[in-house]
Amino acid sequence: MKAHEARVLLTGASGGIGRAAAQALVKAGASVMLVGRAAARLTTQASELMGGMPGASDRVAWQVADMIDPSALAGLSDGAARWGANVVVHNAGLPSFGRLETLSAHDIQQVLNTNLLAPMLLTQALLPHLRRVPRAQVICVGSALGRLGLPGYSAYCASKFGLRGFAEALRRELGDTSIRVQYLGPRATQTAFNSPGVEAYNRATGTAMDTPQTVAVALLRLLEDEAAERFLGFPEKLAVRLNGLAPGLLDGAFDRHRNSLPDGNERPAPAL
């Protein structure tokens, strides 16, 4: 779908990748409904988009929604249908980092609810509407860690592996419809998503990081070329391929990552 044809429901719109994606989409001619938890931030963001892009005043909307609240998801689905959304970008997410024994049950549940369950339920709620429009796309913004298990990211990987599996299965389920389901797998990205512990881990392991703008460009390209899935960065793109073919062969390649994890006795701050 060409950008100028797209009316995009963008969750997690106020985050690092979300803000960059909104700017790239509007600049390319798409209409965007920004979704987040803070009305003030969404209002400011919408004003900035409309003020910085000539002719964008009638192409930017916003709606407040907590992605782990079922009633909020129902309201968001209704609002998106009335607005005429034909593209859903599942970008909202929570981080999780640390040895499994340091993660609280509440944090694990929040990560799985936000990163996996919410996109599934929102897609389910929107499917009747998406079936009625001439063409539609559902884009799941996941991670390279949706196909590559990394020490320190057990809960996060579980959520993103699940999201990729959901996208793959639903793509095949809807193969005889006009709805395209896609998965984007960024590598580590320079956003506030990264805690000081993550930053230290990335330095110790030599992990390369992309800018949010790099991810936004990839998202726009995925929208327009309608590829089933795409991963970003090297060697990450190679690693996910090898891991899919023979995951056991890569186990030893992550010794440095395991040894760079914080002490198992440390407790992380609760996820916001």
Catalytic residues: 156
Show contacts of 42-50: CB within 8 Å, 24+ apart: 42/13, 42/14, 45/13, 45/14, 45/19, 49/22, 49/23
Whole-number Å distance between alpha carbons of 1 and 27: 16
Whether the bond into 247 is cis, omega within 30 of 0: no
Report which DSSP code applies to 262.
P
Phi, psi of 7 (to 5 degrees): -115, 100
d(CA 44, CA 182): 30
Q: Classify residue 266 by its DSSP letter.
A: -
Q: Which residues contact 255 (CB under 8 A, 6 or more apart)?
A: none
